[in-house]
Amino acid sequence: MPKQGMAADRRSRDEPMNSEVDVVVVGAGFAGLYTLHRLRRAGFSAVVLERADDVGGTWYWNRYPGARCDIESLDYSYSFDPELEKEWRWSERYATQPEILRYLGHVADRYDLRRDIRFETRIESATWDGAARRWRIRTDRGDEIRCRFYVMATGCLSVPKTPDVPGYGRFEGDVYFTGRWPHDGVDFTGKRVAVIGTGSSGIQSIPLIAEQAVQLTVFQRTPNFTRPAHNGPVTSTKKVAYERDRAAYREAARWSLAGVPSERSLVRALSVAPEERRAAYEAGYASGDLLAFSAAFADVGSNPEANETLCEFLREKIRSIVRDPETADALTPKNHYYGTKRPCLDTNYYETFNRPNVRLVDVRRDPIKTITEHGIDTASRSYGFDALVFATGFDALTGPIVAVDIRGREGRSLAEKWMDGPKTYLGLMTTGFPNFFMITGPGSPSVLSNMVVSIEQHVDWIAACLERMRAERLDVVEPTSVAEAGWVQHVNDCADITLFPTADSWYMGANVPGKPRVFLPYVGGVDRYRKTCDDVVRRAYLGLAFDGPGGARCADGVVNRLQLDVWTVLDLVTEFGLPRIETLSVPDARATFAAMAIGRPPGPEVGDVADGTLPGAAGPIAYRRYRPASPGPHPIVVYFHGGGWVLGDLESDDPFCRDLCCRSDAIVVSVEYRLAPEARFPAAVDDGFAAVRWIAANADRLGGVPGKLALCGWSAGGNIAAVICQMARAAGGPAIVGQVLVTPATDPDFTRASYVENGEGYILTTPMMKWFWDHYADPADRTQPKAAPLRARDLAGLPPALVVTCEFDPLRDEGAAYAEALAAAGVDTRHLPCRGQIHTSVPAVDVILSARGARAEIAAALRRFLGTTLGHAEQRRARPAVAAVPVGTG
């Protein structure tokens, strides 16, 4: 490895460095090298501290046999300089560790980076000196460096975890760690070798160790999903796309889900025929592309049933390769969903277990009792070895950062601040630690993305921030606690709609004993993350407080308040360019409304569904009855669909009715009241009231329990349900045991704050709402309680209520006002405000997964009103649907 500049560094490295620079950067891997280059280009002085004796970071340390990247090298390379791109040629699709290390050496030389890198130097502490507005950095070489900005470019997987195996340290033979492999390699010829661990490092190294060792024993705790990398020359399609227009190719990567150009799939795995699904999986398998499966279907990362189809496909592949059925079974992952633990690409991994010199020990069946001086004792037997290889992983994302004693304002330690999990703003900064930046820190896409793309984005963002500070004579920057708390919440909300939290993975910190169980990276995607960072800048560096001779300034706030899946839906609506309902004729509006439902998930299976008619106020009206699969009789929920009294029918809220039926274990009767403008106010409520009376009187016939009847409605349907409760109170019946009003219209006052704040951009708009009211009721009628239940003089004696409101809904405030008024009148009322949701979120079953909690609360309220206990169906309603989730490299 040529090391230009090393001589100079070696000459000076024993002399402690006592100086001041603009920026200290820790780490000389992909992140540190680009940081140094970019900062220099911007005119900042910088020094990089690096523990190793050369550049490379992860590619310096991980020299185990078979180590190579599993994002294609064309993608896993810098894009900041077209000249660099032009002059470097990758020899393989997935380059080996030595080739990647050569590349980084080349980059270091090409940009003369080594002269500002202090090798063989470990940072010991970093302390913020508030008075001097400087960081003081101390190293194990006695350096004390003062700097204005301190950047941790230490990588996400650079601190190997200490193996938590009993007897660790006793073994007297050779011991190796994949993450700290000897530089001159290891020859296992004639040796009896044990490998502990079957993550990416184990899976890459096992086939090659098996070729040398006289006997290889693999100790596996969790089988992982892996498939052939099909390595070879750079694929021609990728190369053609890249060579045709490199700049466009790179730009597409920057605005992709995982940092590699690809389309986001909108297709749900369960919406296509099994043969079509299988063909997509076969194509993904044949492609040797790590991201192929998340690109194939939108829901494999969030829907357990969809994910299971992929798991089963991959399990079949394992069975088809591994000859011994018992070994095949042991190698088959069964305890986690595909992608929730980092999947791998391999070369001959499963085939290796067909070799006579390889055996597998499943330590869940036969646990390791202890490592001994000469081998490993499991519960059932003793094994003798000449060499042990630990491929047991890393203290990921937070480990490398808290390994340094970092102290911010008032001497507060970062390790202490993060005791319960990392708290960052954008994964870039953390409150209380001014002028401190992390590259690909926790809370950024990092390990779920092509790291190089994420690194370049972070570095460019930081450099631009520093440039702006210099221009505006600002010398301190720090995120506000509001911004940080908002980001942490958003990161968690995003993870919660995926399957990731279900696995004991290093993404969750679950591999390190005692580490808090928190999902560490940001799952929203590289594109959305980049947009967010750009938004922060555009909104005057939202959430960052600056100070300096140029003055103090802060635009405080939370950058992303919408739930991730709501954001996705709004993007799609914009992309499809749907017409504005209020500009359409009523028939066209109805057709558009109906068209929006085409292709949506159908909702869960219920026991049975039957359509019928019942007497409305002016003639028969249709109803649809959903009965749970559990034995009846059941209590009854009468449901009123949404659609502004103008749109909607039995079909429009069908998935929501199914969901209600399953979750509440009640019969749901959805009523098709007459619509405006053909039948204006009060036709809808009169029909609704007639229907409730008939259903109450005919509960037996419907399979229901007489006297156990609750109402539920969404939007205009919520208005109807609320009004009927008032009508029933006035009429002395029928008895209604509870009302669930989901984002109800309660009062046509368009001056409320929510009409102003959320009047545009969240599907239901203020003009649309005015259009609905205009079709439904004359202005004089609108103030009657029969149209505006909030206007009722007295709300006392109404049935207990749950009122659901959504943060980004024009109707938010009138719903909240109704809940408040009910409670003030002594009605047992609960108000459920839904953070980050829009008017249409709650009924969007299996589309807006983040509203699952609200749907569960609604069912719980109905069960409470109806006095029923939890049915099994509720537990079955797990977490289906449409959230594309990246599975990237680390």
Query: Which residues sit at the interface with ligand N01, rule CB under 6 A?
Result: 69-70, 157, 163-165, 178, 196-202, 204, 219, 221-222, 342, 363, 391-394, 447, 506, 511, 889-890
Q: How far is the CB of 362 from ligand N01 (least distance, A)?
A: 10
In this complex, which beta carbon is closest to ligand N01, that of residue 311 or of residue 391? 391
Q: Which is nearer to ligand N01, 200 or 850 (CB)?
A: 200
Give the shortest CB-199-to-ligand N01 separation in angstroms. 2
Structure tokens at 771: 């259009």
In angstroms, give the least distance from the CB of 890 to ligand N01. Answer: 2
Residue 236, sorted as left (phi over 0), alpha (psi -120 to 50) or beta, turns out to be: alpha
SS3 sequence of 279-302? HHHHHHHHHCCCCHHHHHCCCCCC
CB nearer to ligand N01: give 161 or 855. Answer: 161
Among 437, 427, 551, CA closest to 483? 427
Considering the complex, what minimum distance in angstroms separates the CB of residue 629 from ligand N01?
A: 37
Residue closer to ligand N01, measured from CB, 506 or 694: 506
**Rounded Cα–Cα distance for residues 60 and 788 (Å):** 69
Please state the closest distance from residue 429 (CB atom) to ligand N01, in A: 24
| DSSP sequence for 474-522 | --EEEE-HHHHHHHHHHHHHHHHTSSGGGS--GGGTTTSTT------S-
Q: CA 278 to CA 309: how far, in whole Å?
A: 9
| Cβ atoms of 194 and 375 closer than 8 Å | yes
Q: How far is the CB of 65 from ligand N01 (least distance, A)?
A: 12
Compare residues 451 and 667 and give the one whose CB is closer to ligand N01: 451
Helix (H, G, I), strand (E, B) or coil at 851: helix
Q: In angstroms, give the least distance from the CB of 291 to ligand N01.
A: 13
Residue type, 335: N
Least distance to ligand N01 from the beta carbon of 331, Å? 12
**Nearest distance, CB of residue 189 and ligand N01, angstroms:** 24
Query: How many residues appear in the chain?
Result: 890
Helix or strand run (H / E) with residue 545 = strand 544-547
Minimum CB separation of residue 27 from ligand N01 in Å reads: 16
Which residue, judged by CB position, is nearest to ligand N01 in the bound state? 199
- Tokens representing residue 637 in the block: 């929920």
Q: How far is the CB of 839 from ligand N01 (least distance, A)?
A: 40
In the complex with ligand N01, the residue whose CB is nearer, 128 or 507, is 507
The residue (of 217 and 840) whose beta carbon lies closer to ligand N01 is 217
Smallest distance, Å, CB 201 to ligand N01? Answer: 3
Minimum Å gap between C-beta 43 and ligand N01 is 35
Distance in Å from the first CA to the final CA of the chain:
24
Looking at the Cβ atoms of 734 and 890, the one nearer to ligand N01 is: 890
Of the pair 196, 854, the CB lying nearest ligand N01 is at 196
CB of 220 to ligand N01, least distance (A): 7
- Our CB check for ligand N01 shows the closer of 222 and 265 to be 222
Which residue shows structure tokens 């951009």? 761
How far is 281 from 433, CA to CA, in rounded Å? 46
What are residue 461's phi and psi, to 5 degrees? -65, -45
State the burial class of residue 133 (Cβ atoms within 10 Å of its Cβ: 0-12, 13-18, 19+). middle
Least separation, in Å, of the C-beta of 212 and ligand N01? 19
Pick the closer one to ligand N01 by CB: 31 or 621. Answer: 31
* Residue 186 vs 695, nearer CB to ligand N01: 186
- Exposed / middle / buried, residue 869 (Cβ in 10 Å: 0-12, 13-18, 19+): exposed
Give phi and psi for 428, each to the nearest 5. Answer: -105, -35
Shortest distance, CB of residue 205 to ligand N01, whole angstroms?
Answer: 9
Nearer to ligand N01, 310 or 508 (CB): 508
Select 206 or 801, whichever has its Cβ closest to ligand N01: 206
Residue number with CB closer to ligand N01 (789 or 890):
890
How would you classify the pairing of strands 144-152 and 436-438?
A: parallel
State the minimum distance, in angstroms, from the CB of residue 244 to ligand N01. 27
> Could you tell me whether strands 382-384 and 387-390 are parallel, antiparallel, or unpaired per DSSP bridges?
unpaired
447 or 494: CB nearest ligand N01: 447
Q: Considering beta carbons, is residue 342 or 674 the nearer one to ligand N01?
A: 342
Cα–Cα distance for residue pair 494/498, rounded to 1 Å:
7
CA proximity to 804, closest of 749, 861, 868: 861
Task: Name the token pair of 494.
Answer: 């995003």
Longest dimension (CA), the chain: 97
Structure token digits, residue 707: 């006297």
List, in order, residues 6 or more apart from 28 with CB less than 8 Å away.
36, 48, 50, 52, 54, 55, 56, 57, 108, 113, 117, 119, 153
Is there a contact between 300 and 243 (Cβ–Cβ < 8 Å)? no
- DSSP line for 780-831: HHHTSTTT-GGG-S--TTPPPEEEEEEEE-TTHHHHHHHHHHHHHTT--EEE
Contact between 260 and 71 under an 8 Å Cβ cutoff? The reply is: yes
H or E segment to which residue 118 belongs: strand 117-118
**Long-range Cβ contact pairs of 699-704 (< 8 A, separation 24 or more):** 699/636, 700/633, 702/625, 702/636, 702/667, 702/669, 703/625, 703/627, 703/632, 703/633, 703/634, 703/667, 704/632, 704/633, 704/634, 704/635, 704/636, 704/667
Distance CA 385, CA 365 (A): 21
